[in-house]
């Protein structure tokens, strides 16, 4: 099993797709890495040689921000927006959509489940006597 940038690449997947399991590497960057190293994109992750794994690892370490380093940078960018009070920062702070989406009917993923104003009563014991 190949381990690159702290991530175990999945078995029995094409290397082109397997590299996308690393945070910060999408399909385009994956294709670019493989093309630069002259590796067949249809090679399965199980079939990579140690030399190929090491060359991929070296390219990713030297040329790309991935995993923890990238996550830290993204969270620091969001924190910076929140600190100086930009509109995007306020939207992040309130857990609302940041990029102009409507919120009156949608945005349930960002806002969370609906909160009811009055607690609903129900069940057998709530009937009036």
pLDDT digits (tens, 9 = 90+) for 81-92: 999 999 999 999
Q: Which residues share a beta bridge with 16?
A: none
Condensed to tens digits (0 to 9), the pLDDT of residues 22-80 reads 999 999 999 999 999 999 999 999 988 999 999 999 999 999 999 999 999 999 999 99
SS (H, E, C) 30-89: HHHHHHHCCCCCCCEHHHCCHHHHHHHHHHHHHHCCCHHHHHHHHHHHHHHHHHCCCHHH
Q: How many domains would you assign to the chain?
A: 2
On whether both 54 and 76 belong to a single domain, the answer is: no
CATH code, 28: 1.10.8.50
Helix (H) or strand (E) holding 92: helix 87-93
On whether both 33 and 55 belong to a single domain, the answer is: yes
For residues 31 and 19, give the distance between their C-alpha atoms in angstroms, rounded to a whole number.
9
Burial class from Cβ neighbours inside 10 Å (0-12, 13-18, 19+) for residue 57 reads middle
What is the reported pTM?
0.76
CATH code, 106: 4.10.910.10
Range of the domain at 37: 3-64
């Amino acid at each position: 099993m190949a381990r690159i940038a702290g991530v175990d690449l999945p078995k029995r997947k094409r290397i082109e797709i397997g590299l996308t399991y690393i945070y910060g590497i999408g399909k385009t960057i994956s294709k670019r890495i493989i093309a630069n190293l002259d590796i067949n994109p249809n090679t399965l992750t199980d079939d990579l040689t140690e030399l190929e794994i090491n060359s991929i690892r070296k390219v990713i370490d030297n040329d790309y921000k991935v995993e923890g380093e990238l996550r830290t940078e993204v969270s620091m960018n969001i924190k910076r927006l929140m600190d100086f009070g930009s509109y995007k920062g306020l939207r992040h702070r309130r857990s609302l959509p940041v990029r102009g989406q409507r919120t009156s009917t949608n945005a349930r993923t960002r806002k969370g489940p609906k909160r009811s104003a009055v607690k609903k009563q129900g069940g057998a014991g709530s009937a009036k006597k």
